[in-house]
Structure 1
Amino acid sequence: MTPTTTQPTPPTLTTPTSALGRLGQSPPLLALLGAALLWAGWPIHPAPLTLLLFLGFVPYLRLEQVLTQQGARRGRVFAMTYLFLVLWNAFTTWWVSYSTLGGGIAAVVLNAALMCLPLMAFRRTKERLGSLIGYLSLPIYWIAFEQLHLHWDLTWPWLTLGNGFASVPGWVQWYEYTGFLGGSVWVWVVNILLFFALEKAAAVAWVMRQPGFSIVNSYGRAPKYWGLFWLWPLLAVVVPIGLSYLQGSVYQEKGPAAEVLVIQPNIDPYQEKFPENPKFIPREEQLRRLLERTEQNLTPQTKLVLWPETTLEEALFETSFELQPQIQRIRRELLARHPGLSLLTGVTTIGRYPDKEHASPTARYRDDTGYYDVFNTAAFFADATTPAQFYHKSRLVPGVEKIPPALAGLLANIDLGGIVGSYGSQDERTVFQAPTTPAIRVAPIICYESIYGDFISQYAKNGANLLGIITNDGWWSDSPGHEQHLVYGALRAIETRRDVARSANTGISGFINQHGDITQRTGWWVGAASRATVHLNDEPTFYVRYGELIGRGAQGLAVLLLLGAVVGPLVRKQ
């Protein structure tokens, strides 16, 4: 009788026979490794490190696989998933705590918890519908979550994966078709392909260590062909980058030229900007410095000047805006002296409502004022005499500028001098037109709004041929925050193929062209001015025309997958 031999089953990944193998079996270490890779690949680290985004989720996929093989309970899987995500959030956005410690902690803790939702949905789908559909569902759930995170009250899309390519705009010229969610899809596809390649590599290495191994083994292929499983993730990285560089090489800047000036006053928001600050600079002096710096840097060709967010921080009633001494001074000392010049500036304004019936959901009430809204506003002065036009910031920072409805009722009963509540906003994207030749139609984008690709595309759809970002990044001190915020603007330029003029109070001001290249930038924490010739493109891109097709499509597919994961097993039982 011939004895039979049983061939052992190859492992799914590295066995714990080395330090690397032990790492591959430790969920906490895998969580730390994945978070570190995503942090290292995120802007504003050196551009080549962006490639680490294509590796960052591989440790998580291994983590989930190890826990599945161990039969771990759902609570442990959630805990390890949360550890991975909270570390990534903390490593990458810790700087939010400079503005407010509580807000920084909340941003990290809550955002990580929300990010767990698509990953836990992936695990449940994999359990119910099998590995193939499970892994296919993972990018779908994640993109559906990112799309949701762009539109609800707790919106905080800073870590949308597609934003991770902001330091390498040459890699993602195709964002004019897909938007930044196309970059999120790219990250997940490469990570999953690389995870599968590592699995196959581990299995091959295990076979080669077995006694009696020969050139042709149970896999039926010679070793020289085994490296082919690395081909797919390699192509998934190289081909989109190659197509992007090809697209960028043939794209030409579009639109007539116009000269624009951006001012960076550099007034410390913690020490100098506001009356409660210890070294408060009187408002008249702040305005004098702005006017002086502007005057020194104007040329006869300058058509538009940008001043930063909340340049005029004293809340001004919109009904009497033109009567305010600051406004009259701007008209007299700047606009009247330079016919043909327009100004876009940040200001805090107050809009009144005649009664409760006509008040907005965010309206506040005071006996001496009635129903009113406070707005973070962009005011546009077309010339020396035309009444100012207003745009009210509409993508508000949760907890700072916008209180979720669940908390609004509680805080409304706390007497803090009438300042508690959300800022007002508006539904439409206002575009300001300067009476110049060529006509400048500028999108007034206030600070946080510039990280929303679909939101910015609405300005271009409404006729904007220039993106004007006004911001105050000094809240984040000298941290990665203001640098990340700057380079995110490059993605908005590509998505819309619009030049960007950026004016920061304390941060970095400058210009970005339609390729996403930063053509001028000021220093950090210095008073400065930057002047450039921009191109006024009014042709809509595919992304501007059709919006977030990827995000909406992913949400529809996610609903179907969830239904399948719930209903499918019940049908099989029947």
Structure 2
Amino acid sequence: MLSTAPAFTWTRPASWPPALLALLSAGLLWLGWPVHPAPLALVLLVGWVPYLYLEAALVRRGATGWKVFRYTYLTLVLWNAFTTWWVSYSTLGGGIAAVVLNALLMCLPTMAFYHTKRLAGPRLGYVSLPIYWIAFEQLHLHWDFTWPWLTLGNGFATATEWVQWYEYTGFLGGSVWIWVVNLLVFFSIENDELRIKNEAQESAEQASTMRRKPFLIFNSQFLIATLVAILLPIVVSKIISSRYQEKGQAAEVLVIQPNFDPFQEKFEGGAKFIPYHEQLQRMFRLTEQNLTPQTKLVLWPETSLEENNWEATFEANPKALQIRSFLARHPGLELITGATTLTTYPSKETASESSRYRDDIGYYDFFNTAVFFGNAAQPVQFYHKSRLVPGVEGVPHWLSAFVIDLGGAAGGLGRQAQAGVFRTTAPDSTLRTAPVICYESVYGDYVSQYIRRGATLIGIITNDGWWSDSPGHLQHLHYATLRAIETRRAIARSANTGISAFINQKGEIIQQTGWWVPAALRGTVRLNTEMTFYVRYGELIGRGAQVLAVLLLAFVMVRALNRRFAV
């Protein structure tokens, strides 16, 4: 007896439910994102194709703009949730807000694409999509609600061997690559579906071989263009990598990972709070046990000196005096530590927007600070974190009453206007350290400012314990590899909790500690003094995309007005 089991029937993606296409696109973008294995980053090159199908199918069915927005938002909120859910380890409300609000902001470039395609036609519409998206990514690097964690170019952070050309383009070059390939793949499949549909409506004579031949040539051209767009950047990257040799003098650096639980041990009020003087002694002990006579620099992590440290009297601070005593026993050694510092302002007029006021103090500011001890006698130098975490460190003045806690001590902090570089007064020293504090390492354009100001080494100090053992601290570590490629600077990374590491100038992690263990890591880095194209000229791609986006929007608005008045 013959089987009556139903046969599997393939249906083209254009006929799939929109929610399924949204889920598929979000799932592919998540699958290709760090910290999945490096080869899976290739999935990012097709991750947007289901969404492009979704938008095209809805438009063909006559869906309203509101319906297109709903499914666009569904795609983006799922991708944000799959990839950055770990923010909720700090606070559930903060995690939800980060996902919901960032997905909403991402609708700005995607819906601008929809309206451009509707008003100016598909050809200009599809060209506008990567322009709008990259213009948005550039904006997301510079405004109050900055959250560039999902900048598409970050997606290759575990596949650095494919993006060595970031030294020319920066990470936004990776965003261009992703969009170009996704659009080429979509055009190939979409045109194939249109051919099938058209041939079904034609007679057998009209669908002759001669009539099909031009389309087959057209499709082969798309196939070749797609393969070139995928392979050429990888081949170029391999060539650059094979020819690149690390540059600069060698220096031995020691990074300390004291491993204080930020929820229980690190801060006063925690259930297992470790007194600050005991925390300091653990860092001294780890440092002393791992120093050698060749060590030139020690890095302690973010907020290692957590008590309120007034900058005006910092030199007399007992903790500062202990550090000076330690350095006096080790001539030629430099030390960078994270700290919470405060400074006062003489009047309201001179105070910053982030300043606070108390009757007994006046106007004052809190800072997330890196403090530099060049030697036992040189005056300390301060660098105040500039790129602040939105909702916890960086709170716009008008929004300070509605703070979203994403981890840490909520409230607006002061910030420094520009990058700073730590250097000793020794004239023959080539060790000039960029003090990059935590979240700042996600900003390629900002990190390049340190290099333009003379930094020969990137020193990252951070505290990644807020997000437990999740993809969050791993993504943060791997994003730093892209900064090494963009600037061709070695990186020494000191994490309170998280993973401390050394990264070479090719973006390769050459040493790293374990997760959630007290540790010290000693490594030799090269102090490059040359500037890459990206460092020298900055975000040309991002700024160019913003100019083009403004011109496109102006054109579309004029087109819309002409249509309206023509009617």
Superposed pair shares fold, TM > 0.5: yes
Deviates more, 1:492-501 or 1:24-33: 24-33
What SS is found at the alignment partner of 1:356?
coil
Equivalent in the alignment of 1:554: 545
Shift of 1:402: 1.5
Deviation sequence 1:246-267 (CA, Å, 0-9, x none): 0111111111111111011111
Change (3 A) 1:411 1:201: closer
**2:483 counterpart letter in structure 1:** R
Deviation sequence 1:61-82 (CA, Å, 0-9, x none): 0000111011111111110000
Shift of 1:329: 1.3
- 1:357 aligned onto 2:349: yes
Shift of 1:271: 1.1
5+ residue gaps, structure 1: 1-16, 413-418
Deviation sequence 1:488-516 (CA, Å, 0-9, x none): 00100111110000000000001111101
Equivalent in the alignment of 2:235: 242
Deviates more, 1:153-162 or 1:537-546: 537-546
What is the TM-score with the length of structure 2 in the denominator? 0.94
Query: CA contact under 8 A between 1:375 and 1:393: conserved in structure 2?
Result: yes
- 1:168 aligned onto 2:121: no
Query: CA contact under 8 A between 1:381 and 1:389: conserved in structure 2?
Result: yes
Equivalent in the alignment of 2:312: 319
Matches within 5 A, 1:93-112: 93-112=84-103
Shift of 1:568: 2.2
Query: CA contact under 8 A between 1:340 and 1:435: conserved in structure 2?
Result: no
Query: CA contact under 8 A between 2:257 and 2:300: conserved in structure 1?
Result: yes
What SS is found at the alignment partner of 2:212?
coil
Matches within 5 A, 1:529-544: 529-544=520-535
**1:261 counterpart letter in structure 2:** L
**1:108 counterpart letter in structure 2:** V
> Partners in 2 of 1:72 and 1:475 — Cα distance?
43
Tell me the matched-pair count.
550
**2:516 counterpart letter in structure 1:** W
Shift of 1:411: 6.0
> Partners in 1 of 2:531 and 2:429 — Cα distance?
18
> Partners in 1 of 2:55 and 2:303 — Cα distance?
47
Query: CA contact under 8 A between 2:494 and 2:501: conserved in structure 1?
Result: yes
Query: CA contact under 8 A between 1:490 and 1:518: conserved in structure 2?
Result: yes
Query: CA contact under 8 A between 1:411 and 1:421: conserved in structure 2?
Result: no
Among candidates 332, 337, 341, match of residue 345 of structure 1: 337
> Partners in 1 of 2:173 and 2:222 — Cα distance?
24
Matches within 5 A, 1:512-527: 512-527=503-518
Among candidates 280, 294, 301, match of residue 287 of structure 1: 280
> Partners in 2 of 1:325 and 1:171 — Cα distance?
49
Equivalent in the alignment of 1:13: none
Among candidates 324, 335, 344, match of residue 331 of structure 1: 324
> Partners in 2 of 1:249 and 1:536 — Cα distance?
20
Query: CA contact under 8 A between 2:384 and 2:415: conserved in structure 1?
Result: yes
Equivalent in the alignment of 1:416: none
**1:294 counterpart letter in structure 2:** T
Matches within 5 A, 1:497-508: 497-508=488-499
Equivalent in the alignment of 2:412: 422
Change (3 A) 1:275 1:508: same
**2:41 counterpart letter in structure 1:** T
Deviation sequence 1:135-182 (CA, Å, 0-9, x none): 000000001000000000000000000111111111111111111111
Change (3 A) 1:547 1:367: same
- 1:44 aligned onto 2:35: yes
Change (3 A) 1:542 1:226: closer
Equivalent in the alignment of 1:405: 397
- 1:56 aligned onto 2:43: no
Among candidates 185, 188, 193, match of residue 194 of structure 1: 185
What SS is found at the alignment partner of 1:271?
coil
Query: CA contact under 8 A between 1:255 and 1:536: conserved in structure 2?
Result: yes
> Partners in 2 of 1:197 and 1:422 — Cα distance?
49
Query: CA contact under 8 A between 1:467 and 1:500: conserved in structure 2?
Result: yes
Shift of 1:227: 4.3
What SS is found at the alignment partner of 2:256?
strand
- 1:142 aligned onto 2:133: yes
Query: CA contact under 8 A between 1:392 and 1:426: conserved in structure 2?
Result: yes
Query: CA contact under 8 A between 2:354 and 2:397: conserved in structure 1?
Result: no
Shift of 1:427: 0.6
Aligned alpha-carbon RMSD (Å): 1.9
> Partners in 2 of 1:228 and 1:492 — Cα distance?
36
> Partners in 2 of 1:384 and 1:492 — Cα distance?
31
- 1:177 aligned onto 2:140: no
Equivalent in the alignment of 1:14: none
Shift of 1:204: 5.0
Among candidates 389, 394, 400, match of residue 381 of structure 2: 389
Equivalent in the alignment of 1:27: 18
Query: CA contact under 8 A between 2:394 and 2:413: conserved in structure 1?
Result: yes
Query: CA contact under 8 A between 1:411 and 1:420: conserved in structure 2?
Result: no
What is the TM-score with the length of structure 1 in the denominator? 0.92
**1:469 counterpart letter in structure 2:** I
Deviates more, 1:195-204 or 1:82-91: 195-204
Equivalent in the alignment of 1:8: none
> Partners in 2 of 1:254 and 1:90 — Cα distance?
41
Query: CA contact under 8 A between 1:25 and 1:66: conserved in structure 2?
Result: no
- 1:443 aligned onto 2:434: yes
Query: CA contact under 8 A between 1:262 and 1:531: conserved in structure 2?
Result: yes
Shift of 1:215: 7.3
Shift of 1:222: 8.9
What SS is found at the alignment partner of 2:524?
strand
Deviation sequence 1:370-429 (CA, Å, 0-9, x none): 110000000000001112110000100111112123313x469xxxxxx87410001121
> Partners in 2 of 1:24 and 1:261 — Cα distance?
58
> Partners in 1 of 2:172 and 2:217 — Cα distance?
37
> Partners in 2 of 1:368 and 1:224 — Cα distance?
80
> Partners in 2 of 1:471 and 1:301 — Cα distance?
25
Shift of 1:439: 2.3
Equivalent in the alignment of 2:358: 366
What SS is found at the alignment partner of 1:304?
strand
Change (3 A) 1:224 1:125: closer
Deviation sequence 1:188-242 (CA, Å, 0-9, x none): 0100000001123334556788885887242235969854432211110100110
- 1:298 aligned onto 2:291: yes
Among candidates 59, 79, 88, match of residue 68 of structure 1: 59
5+ residue gaps, structure 2: 1-7, 404-408
